Structure 1
Amino acid sequence: MNFITHYTWILLIPAVLVWVTRAVIRTSGALHILQLEGYKSARFLRWLVHNPKRMLDIKELIALVDLLILALIAYFFNVKTLTLPVFILLWIAIELYFIITHKPIKAKRPLVYTARASRLFRFAIFLIIGSVVIVISQSGGLSIWRLNGDQLYFQFMVLFAFTSVLNQLSAINLTLANVLLYPVERSINAGYFRQAQERIKKLKPKVIGITGSYGKTSTKYILQKILSQRFNSLMTPDSYNTPMGICKVINGQLKPEHEIFIVEMGAYKRGEIKELCELTQPEIGVLTAVGAQHLERFKSIDNIANTKYELIESLPPNGIAVFNNDNEICRRLADKTTIKTVRYGINTSDDTVKLTAKDIKNTSRGLIFNVEDSSGASAEFRTKLLGGNNVYNILAATAVALECGMTLSEVSRAVGMLAPIPHRLQLIPSGNGVTVIDDGFNANPVGAKAALEVLDSFETGRKILITPGMVELGELEFKENKIFGEQAAKVCDFVILVGPNRTKPILEGLREAGFPEENIIIAKSLAEASERMREMVKAGDVVLFENDLPDTYNE
């Protein structure tokens, strides 16, 4: 073995290490998005099509292509200075540079290495390494250890190109791994599902299911706080509203002492809420609203309505269905429901409504209103929660609490103790005299309008809105965001738009409403928007952060 060949084999060790490290980094980044997409390969592939720059590292690709071109020129023109060891050293240097300078995207929902994520990650790395091993070990293939001299040089160029392409396509490799592991994951999930089903049947808590296009998470938090005054209750945390998330709660947190189990139920397609009901067997179902949220996935409002109604259809004959009577679609669904229904609304004279809120005072310090039931009983409700939309959430929770045996006065006391719900019109102390309203988890037209009403309720200081707009509204997205811009123009002194492309409808609405151009700021990211806000605010100002896009969005 000559001098050059000897050092070639030595350099292959760090070359393989940096290549594997780069594969790990790229695979983990893709896994984060796949996890956010619920491990749905089709949805992940659609995301890749719309975000090619998140799959391919263009700078790295250009550097590696340049190196390959240089090496091929050296090979064909017999340039002795670019020997194979020099080429490998340059490759290592390039990969090390991109490893060292790699800056992970600051995630709002970071990757969680659950058992499934860990299995998938390991299998994806196995596939990518296995592909290289198979290629170089095939007889007549890239069997680089059997070659020397020019043969070795050229074959290494081919291997270099192959491994570089594999790394760039880590997301595709991950998708393949996800598809291949699907039967295994399905079997594992079925086991978890059966275990959770059996636990529910054994412990027999009263299960309350909550669904809707919006308002379900807030209603869940409010209901749990109210019921906890009398019952030992458990709710699904945060946004645990999928089968496996709920199974995890049942198998790990539900105890014999829990009398009531409150379950938030989310869905992106028909049949998913029905599956959750087969798992949890709810006795009471709450439908907070049906609207355009997630219309992009459901394709039609009818599909959304039918999917949400799966909760009501799954209730037993002695079950109780709770509806927001002010929502037109909910009202129609309530009309066709044959089991016991409880309807709630605001300032209504409809005699089918059991629970009504009246005399509502929506202030910057919270809500004050009276609640009356169909029997004539009433109570004053006071809460620190902001926004007219929370009146509906409180009414929904009150309706359920009354059906569970609590009184209006008990519910009123519990409502008075409610703490702000994280990221839902939550007041954040700033320490510099600036009031910050965090409504980052709000992404529907009704909630956005309510947030602007809260902002408008502050009597002093300048009013500043920071928003990327609303998403997943399908064909209504442009229209609703434009309306949002028109509404903001009537309330705000300054508007900071996050994302030049995504916020064009809001910008159009602002301009058509005659909002001053000099008071509109367009930022490329939330970080930039926050920095611009810090530069301009002064004591007494009120800042509303309206919606925060998930990590699957570029802007």
Structure 2
Amino acid sequence: MALSERLRRIANAIVPFWDALYILQLEEYRVGRLAKWLPRFFFRRNVARRQQLRYTQRAKTIFAASLFLWVLAAVVVATSALPLVVRVGLIGVLCTFGHAFVAAGTWALWPVHHVAALRAMRRAASVVASRKEMRVVAVAGSYGKTTTKQFVYDLARHVLPTQMVPGTINTPRGIAAWILKDLRPSTELLVVEMDAYQVGEIARSCKIAPPDIAVITNVGDQHLERFGSVDRLASALRETIFGSKPTATVVFDEETYSRLGRPDPGGRTVRLVGCAPAYRSVLVATKHLSDSSVANLRLALAVANLVGVPERFVLDSCAKLEPPERRQRHAALYGYDAIDDSYNVSFMTARAGIRAGRSLASSTGKKLLVVTAGIPELGPHERDKNRLLGTMLRGQADYTVVLHSLFAREIKAGIGSGPHRVVADLAAFLAMAHGSFPPSEWVLLLQPELHDLYY
């Protein structure tokens, strides 16, 4: 281990700046989310797992501000007239409450970061507004956004000069930064994923890139812990409709429309997709896709029709479509024939992934091995979903490996006497995988390991 890393770990054990910064970074620098994790991590300085802190400009400035505030407080205490034993005790308190100084540093710098973000968002909105001929497709929803975005791009890109905002860049700041850096002058169709952790975020994204076509994939069970209720989640997703252009078309299925509360679109056209994956009444090839990917494809086909992609291009492209990496994608993984569903998870996508894994096992004549850490961010009325996940795995998987996350006990309760074992983490599974589960006999379904705050 490098000397700098050892010094960092020693410093973090004394004043937990790195732990607090790491949690903040994972939680999009929301101080309230840092407070949420503090009861679990207040005394647990598990810096050995903290390998992913990215030293961005924002992280560096917050660290500098936090350190300045801490040193200032320490100097005030050290030079006070209090008895020595009291001063030493107070310095110890300052060390223990290092998280508070990171929170204070984040709050102190918030106006600076906020003003910079607003400027970038206004500049990006100006760029989009100047592109009169460019159409914008916005994709929002609880899950399936990235897959739907990818399918729209794959269906349209051979016919129209098309760009999509890549990966999981889906916040107002991220979208604005990408537009300013990477939007090409020749682009005629821009596909944007819009996500939210709170009401108002999708509305801000729509101000940057007002949609000509607004797609809502579903109203599901992801992020319910953050929103608190399905009603608030639905309210956030409705911003995709009301933030679109007055002449826009909004696309979803009947169930999603109902879960949104069947809102009045205010003159916008509503396009409800059917149950079958069809393009202009012609069924498309979907045998290679999971159930949830087929649902995403139905929405993408509606968008392709709206932007005028010829039928022959659509039918040819559908036979070759693959979901994005780590989203129920059939792949070779750790030596196994596998369904890689390791990006993120909700109860609904977990169910679809398990069905895809079971189908692969049946078609290859092998047994199904599932590795899971559980479902995070469940709302107050969804608390039993990890137990139900275990019950589902007991009926569908031939063997389940449960990673020792916060949800392991609930999953185990659902599996009951079904074949399973609990291991520390994904690395522990990989160390024993081939010896216990030969790839010649097993197919693998890998669900997300989850980030280390859940361990």
TM-score (norm 1): 0.74
| Alignment counterpart, residue 485 of structure 1, candidates 385, 390, 400 | 390
Tell me which amino acid in the other structure corresponds to 1:480.
Answer: K
Paired residues of 2:155 and 2:309 also in contact (CA < 8 A): no
2:50 alignment partner in structure 1: 105
Q: Give the counterpart letter for 1:503 in structure 2.
A: A
| Aligned counterparts of 2:259 and 2:106: Cα–Cα separation in 1 | 38
Shift of 1:501: 4.8
Alpha-carbon shift at residue 248 of structure 1 (Å): 0.9
Match of 1:525 in 2: 425
1:415 aligns with 2:318: yes
Q: Which amino acid aligns with 1:341?
A: V
Paired AA for residue 127 in structure 1: L
* 1:382–1:412 contact (8 Å) kept in structure 2: no
Q: Distance in 1 between matches of 2:169 and 2:287?
A: 26
Between the aligned partners of 2:43 and 2:166, the Cα distance in structure 1 is: 34
- What is the deviation of 1:536? 0.9
- Superposition RMSD on alpha carbons, in Å? 2.7
In structure 2, give the amino acid aligned to 1:180.
A
- 1:540 corresponds to which letter in structure 2? E
- Residue aligning to 2:453: 552
- Check 1:536–1:21 CA distance in 2 against 1; reply closer, same or farther (3 A cut): closer
* Residues 323 and 330 in structure 1, CA contact (< 8 A), matched pair in contact too: no
- Give the Cα separation in 2 of the matches to 1:19 and 1:395: 50
Structure 1 CA distance, aligned partners of 2:414 and 2:333?
Answer: 30
User: Which of these two proteins has the greater Rg computed from alpha carbons?
Assistant: 1
Partner of 1:190: 118
What is the CA–CA distance in structure 2 between the aligned matches of 1:112 and 1:203, rounded to whole Å? 34
Matches within 5 A, 1:132-211: 132-137=74-79, 140=81, 155=84, 161-204=89-132, 205-211=134-140
Kept in 2, the 8 Å contact 1:292–1:476? The answer is: no
Aligned equivalent of 1:541, options 430, 436, 442 = 442
How much does 1:290 deviate?
0.5
Match of 1:22 in 2: 11
2:328 aligned residue: 425
Aligned counterpart in structure 2 of residue 287 of structure 1, from 212, 216, 222: 216
Aligned equivalents of 2:7, 2:415: Cα separation in 1 = 50
Change (3 A) 1:129 1:463: same
Q: CA deviation at 1:26?
A: 3.5
Contact 1:435 1:540 in 2 (8 A): no
Which residue of the partner structure matches residue 69 of structure 2? 127
1:419-475 CA-to-partner distances (Å, cap 9, x unmatched) read 34111112332474x323221123112211111111111221221111111121212
Could you tell me whether the CA contact under 8 Å between 2:322 and 2:329 is conserved in 1? no
Q: What are the superposed Cα offsets for residues 45-102 of structure 1, whole Å, 9 maximum, x if unpaired?
A: 1111233244x57xxxxxxxxxxxxxxxxxxxxxxxxxxxxxxxxxxxxxxxxxxxx6
Distance 1:535 1:478, change over 3 A: farther
Name the structure 2 match of 1:391: 294
Residue aligning to 2:282: 378
Within the candidate set 14, 32, 35, 2:22 is matched to: 32
Q: Name the structure 1 match of 2:350.
A: 448
Partner residue of 1:41? 31
Contact 2:147/2:296 (8 A) holds in 1: yes
Match of 2:366 in 1: 461
Q: Using a 3 Å threshold, how does the CA distance of structure 1 residues 232 and 114 change in structure 2: closer, same or farther?
A: farther
Q: 1:309 aligns with which of 216, 238, 245?
A: 238
Shift of 1:137: 4.5
The CA deviation at 1:499 is 2.2
Q: 2:284–2:318: 8 Å Cα contact kept in structure 1? A: no
1:328-347 correspondence to structure 2 within 5 Å: 329-330=258-259, 332-333=261-262, 338-346=267-275
- Quick check: 285-294 or 254-263, which moved more? 254-263
Q: How far apart, in 2, do the equivalents of 1:337 and 1:393 lie?
A: 25
Total equivalences in the alignment:
444
**Structure 1 residues 465 and 454: alpha-carbon distance in aligned structure 2, compared to 1, 3 A threshold:** same
Cα deviation code 1:172-200 (max 9, x no counterpart): 21001111111222222221121111111
In structure 2, the CA distance between the partners of 1:112 and 1:19, relative to structure 1 (3 Å rule), is closer
Report deviation, 1:163: 4.2
Alpha carbons 2:279, 2:301 under 8 Å: kept: no
Q: How far is 1:390 from its partner?
A: 0.6
- CA change 1:270–1:331 in 2 (3 A) is closer
- Do the aligned partners of residues 498 and 477 (structure 1) sit closer, same or farther apart at CA in structure 2, a change above 3 Å counting? farther
Is 1:435 aligned to residue 337 of structure 2? yes
Q: Write the distance in 1 (CA, Å) between the matches of 2:49 and 2:374.
A: 25
Which of 35, 59, 68 is 1:117 aligned to?
A: 59
Aligned to 1:84: none
Alignment of 1:221-232 (within 5 A): 221-232=150-161
Output the CA distance in 1 between the equivalents of 2:131 and 2:53: 33
Question: Is contact 1:500–1:523 with CA below 8 Å preserved after alignment?
Answer: no
2:151–2:323 Cα contact (<8 Å) kept: no
For residues 373 and 266 of structure 2, the distance between their equivalents in structure 1, rounded to whole angstroms, comes to 38
Identify if the C-alpha distance between structure 1 residues 510 and 420 changes in structure 2 by more than 3 Å, giving closer, same or farther: same
Q: Which runs of 5+ in 2 are unaligned?
A: 1-5
Residue 132 of structure 1: how far off its partner (Å):
2.7
The equivalent position to 1:50 in structure 2, one of 40, 58, 66, is 40
1:334/1:410 CA distance change after superposition, 3 Å: farther
Alignment of 1:265-280 (within 5 A): 265-280=194-209
Which sits farther off after the overlay, 44-53 or 177-186? 44-53
Does structure 1 residue 471 correspond to structure 2 residue 413? no
CA distance 1:257–1:483, change in 2 (3 Å): same
* Matches of 1:328 and 1:508, distance apart in 2: 35
Identical counterparts, % of pairs: 27
1:388 partner letter: D
| Cα distance in 1, alignment partners of residues 7 and 92 from structure 2 | 12
User: 1:249 aligns to what SS in structure 2?
Assistant: helix
- 2:410 maps to a residue whose letter is P
